[in-house]
A = this chain, B = another copy of it.
Amino acid sequence: MEPKIELRPIGIIHSPYKTRKNAPPQGCQRPEVVSEIEVFNEYSEGLKDIEGFSHLHVLYWLHKSEAYQLKITTPWDTELHGLFTTRSPNRPNPIGYSIVQLVGRHENLLRVRGLDALEGTLLLDIKPYVEGIDEVENARAGWLEGRLKIFTH
């Protein structure tokens, strides 16, 4: 009954984070760390004028994701939380999402800050971050409130 949905990688991420153990729970917790997004040559025309954008949404395939559970504990407390109220990489569809700061571009290579993806992660999509459509005021973050307030991009 369920349709099959297939994705194709459009690039690969080069990161100083080589294993899940040495990556931070969120990339923004290590704002000094620069990663590189290599967009495959066949897609590089789609980057035209991207250097005008300071921030990007990046979607990627969490290739080290493991079996998921619908209620989990997190690094932040000892309670069980609904999976969809967490940013755990172990999800039914392990698509990673980060907002990154674009700090440089050389042809099909983008240098970015704030990306928690591991070395070798496959890139799925890049979208522009646009104030007005991506901006939220006075958000309330349930049980996570205040726990991830570490760094502002």
Give A contacts to B, CB under 8 Å. Answer: 2-10, 26, 28, 39, 43, 45-57, 59, 61, 63, 70-71, 80-87, 91-93, 95, 97, 99, 122, 124-145, 148-153
Give Cα A57 to B55, complex, Å: 17
**5 closest A-B pairs by CB:** A52-B142, A48-B82, A132-B149, A46-B83, A45-B70
Please, which residues of chain B bring their CB within 8 A of the CB of A39?
Answer: 84
Give Cα A41 to B28, complex, Å: 33
Please, which residues of chain B bring their CB within 8 A of the CB of A28?
Answer: 132-133
Q: How far is the CB of A91 from chain B (nearest CB, A)?
A: 6
Please, which residues of chain B bring their CB within 8 A of the CB of A135?
Answer: 136, 152-153
Whether A85 and B48, one on each chain, are in contact in the complex, defined by CB atoms closer than 8 angstroms, is: yes
Q: A43-B92, A70-B43 are in contact. Are A131 and B142 (CB under 8 A)?
A: no
Which of B2, B26, B148 is in CB contact (< 8 Å) with A8? Answer: B2
Give Cα A7 to B138, complex, Å: 33
Whether B99 and A49, one on each chain, are in contact in the complex, defined by CB atoms closer than 8 angstroms, is: no
Please, which residues of chain B bring their CB within 8 A of the CB of A99?
Answer: 133-134, 136
Whether B10 and A92, one on each chain, are in contact in the complex, defined by CB atoms closer than 8 angstroms, is: yes
Q: How far is the CB of A67 from chain B (nearest CB, A)?
A: 14
